[in-house]
Chains A and B, each alone.
Chain A
Amino acid sequence: MTKVVIIDAAECIRARVIGPTGAEHRRLANRVMEEALNRANLHFEEIAYVVATGYGRINVPFADRQITELTCHARGVYQLFPTVSIAIDIGGQDAKGLKIKKGKLVDFVMNDRCAAGTGRFLEVLANTLGLKLDDLGGISLQATSKIKISSICTVFAQQEVMAYLAKGTPLPDIVAGLHDAIASRVVKMITRLKIEPDVVFTGGVAKNIGVVQALKQNLGLEVFVPAEPLLTGAVGAALLGKELVLKARERGEVIAAKERRLEEVTFFR
């Protein structure tokens, strides 16, 4: 997904847009930006600074600067939860644990090499179960017990799930087991960061109430989820952009920004 957040000097969000990404990052970044400008009722020239983040950050042609999603998430989460110590972000393709002290990222762990423990794991297995991704959370709440998934690999987990289906295990118990598998993997991964409250959970998977519950159980701690868990990275990028501009102004400098043009660019030419 491609997200755009526009903030003003008072840190008020003027527009937020979430659009699909697809293979043509560059062109889509354009469209989502246009949409955000329309919603904010702004001209592109009025935007002081553009920070791009995430996997596609180098494919945003109109960005003034790229900052990694780890730094941006940390900043965004801190804005929403100033008491945050640990942020867990589970998205479609990776899982991250961030240690945040006084709003600054001080350490992190990341799994970006394998679908296990990410949103993709749930996507694949929802498909196996013939369920919609969005329904998984609700279904898991009806579970009376939960299955144990022992395989780390998504493909092998799929085989385990099929074996449970063959045995006639109720769907809610299987789904609850999958949520527990994700939560326990992520908790294991982030243990090195020395987990302390407050814990904040973001990313697309944070919309799944079943995983939120499983994380609480695995951590033995309260887990806070922002109202829009997909947007924290974009919010953080916008805030860091604002801070860069203000710092430059304090020093009496003009921050180098690109010409404000939105062109259709593609690498498929």
Chain B
Amino acid sequence: MVVNRKGIERIKEIYQDRASRAQELKAGGKQVMGYLCIYPVLEMLTALDIVPFRILGQMSEPITKADACLPTIVCPFIRSTLDLGLKGKYDFMDGVVMAHVCDVGEKTSHIWRTYLNPPYYYFLDVPHTTHLAAQEQMKEQIKTLRQTLEDFTGKKITAAKLKQAIDLHNQQRALVRELYDLRKPDPPLISGAETLQTMVALMSIPVAEGNDLLKQVISEVKQRKNKLSKKPRLLIWGSIIDNVALVEMIESAGANVVMDDICVGSRAFFPAVAQTDDPLDGLAYRYLVELKCPRTFREATYGETKKDYIQDLESRFGYIKEYIRDWNVNGVILQAVRYCDIHGYEVPAVRDYLDHIGTPHIYLEHDYSEAALAPLRTRVQAFLELLG
């Protein structure tokens, strides 16, 4: 018997078995494409009616195959994604859109191509700075992505289809903001763990389905009877979190995670694509300039602020201050997956900024493994004790 679950129940179902819906659609004749990180331009896939499926890792699964073709002292998240690929967990995909996100991501993309030889492969060469020439390069890259996708599918991405896809994705971004607004009350209406499960689910199904599901979740959460209790309100910043274990550990230590700055969360969904005469301009700007992953180098007023550190921090991390204000955040947990150098470089600056604005914070490094989370619990508890 097929049970039609709705709202949060459905979210949890998808979270438990991420590939189930994509595989179902694939069996029904749709194409599914994997993508790495948040830089591949999903609107191009949606415009061709391809299901975008984010390539994630699996914290609970030991890495056994990837170590044969990747060094062990690199990001365990990326190692886990390749490991799943090598184990055939992503075999249902018709292709992948990889990207020059960080060094490990870039190298792994190529290794993925070599070992898994997907029918379609595109490597989006995302620039590492945001100035005009870089934006031009990004736009060119998106053009080529569009072209190769058209060649692969034998279908055209018309202006109308692209506009429709941009609207659909923007609608999802607006709905995610609406969901995040439900974390603003004290206590929040939805837990950090449930929010994360929702974000993972959205990255596993077609965008239109995701929008319908989000609407169900929002109305369900608004009408909730069993409320959460008031606890210190935390924001989590940092490397990817694609498994609820870390957030559950933090929340069970006596906190509500009410906001995030991570790429399975606000970082992936908050920026919308602006309407531009040439839609590729809006897309290039959104994906290169407005996505705020530290894989992109930023400094305030390009080249001018070397003498004013605080102004530089303000322009790079001012949005975090807005999150802290709007979501009434008491403390920030900075976390990074071990060997994540891009976040590692950013940690001292974010700390200085949080000190400057007077928000307590701690920094946790973890091994992208459920079992290795236990030692972090004491730090989280001590942090909550000092928040008082």
Contacts and interface: CB of A to CB of B under 8 A. Distances in A.
Interface in B345-388: 360, 362, 375, 378-379, 381-382, 385-386
Instruction: Please tell me the size bucket of the interface on A.
Output: 10 to 19
Q: Interface SS of chain B: helix, strand, loop or mixed?
A: helix
A108 B192 CA distance: 25
Interface string A65-85: 001111100000000000000
B378 A105 contact: no
B386 A71 contact: yes
Contacts of A102: none
B385 A70 contact: yes
A106 interface: yes
A71 B385 contact: yes
Contacts of B378: 55, 68-70, 110, 112
A113 B338 CA distance: 12
Residue of A68, A69, A106 most packed against chain B (CB within 10 A) = A68
A104 B379 contact: no
Contacts of B375: 112-113
A70 B379 CA distance: 8
A105 B385 contact: yes
A203 to B, nearest CB: 15
Q: Interface SS of chain A: helix, strand, loop or mixed?
A: mixed
Contacts of B362: 108
B379 A110 contact: yes
A67 B386 CA distance: 11
A110 B363 CA distance: 10
Contacts of A110: 378-379
A105 B379 contact: no
Contacts of A105: 382, 385-386
Contacts of B360: 106
Contacts of A104: 386
Contacts of B385: 67-68, 70-71, 105
A51 to B, nearest CB: 12
B283 to A, nearest CB: 40
Contacts of A71: 382, 385-386
Contacts of B386: 70-71, 104-108
Contacts of B382: 68-71, 105, 108
B202 to A, nearest CB: 34
Interface in A170-210: none
Interface string A106-149: 11101011000000000000000000000000000000000000
A119 B65 CA distance: 37
Nearest to B351: A192
A162 B375 CA distance: 32
Contacts of B379: 70, 108, 110
A195 to B, nearest CB: 16
Nearest to A108: B382
Nearest to A106: B386
A105 B375 CA distance: 20
A160 to B, nearest CB: 22
B376 to A, nearest CB: 9
Residue of B379, B381, B382 most packed against chain A (CB within 10 A) = B382
A70 B380 CA distance: 11
Contacts of A107: 386
Given A105-B386, A110-B379, 4 more contacts: A68-B385, A69-B378, A112-B375, A113-B375
21 contacts: A55-B378, A68-B378, A68-B382, A68-B385, A69-B378, A69-B382, A70-B378, A70-B379, A70-B385, A70-B386, A71-B385, A71-B386, A105-B386, A106-B360, A107-B386, A108-B362, A108-B382, A108-B386, A110-B378, A110-B379, A113-B375
